[in-house]
Amino acid sequence: MKKLIATFTFMVIALTAFAQSNSEHLTFKGVPIDGTLNEYVAKMENAGFSHIDTKDGVAILSGEFAGYKDCIIGVMTFQKCDLVHEITVLFPRQNTWKGLDFDYNRLKSMLSKKYGKPDKCVEKFVHFFEDDDIKMSEVKNNNCTYYSVFKIENGNISLSIENVYYGVFDGCRVKLWYSDKINSKAFEEAAIDDL
The span from the CA of 40 to the CA of 34, in Å, is 7
Three-state helix/strand/coil letters over 89-143: EECCCCCCHHHHHHHHHHHHHHHHHHHCCCCEEEEEECCCCCCHHHHHHHHHCCC
Confidence of residue 191 (pLDDT cuts 50, 70, 90): low
Q: Which of 11-20, 55-64, 163-172 has the lowest mean pLDDT?
A: 11-20
**Model pTM score:** 0.82
Q: How many helices (H) and strands (E) does the chain have?
A: 5, 10
Angle among Cα 17, 2, 14 to the nearest 5 degrees reads 10
Higher confidence at residue 10 or residue 62?
62
Report which of 168, 159, 158 is spatially closest to residue 53, judged by C-alpha positions: 168
Confidence of residue 78 (pLDDT cuts 50, 70, 90): confident
In percent, the amount of the chain with pLDDT more than 70 equals: 87
11-36 pLDDT per residue, tens: 333 333 333 344 599 999 999 999 99
89, 65 Cβ separation under 8 angstroms: yes
124-145 pLDDT per residue, tens: 998 877 889 999 999 999 999 9
Q: Where are the domains of the chain?
A: 2-194
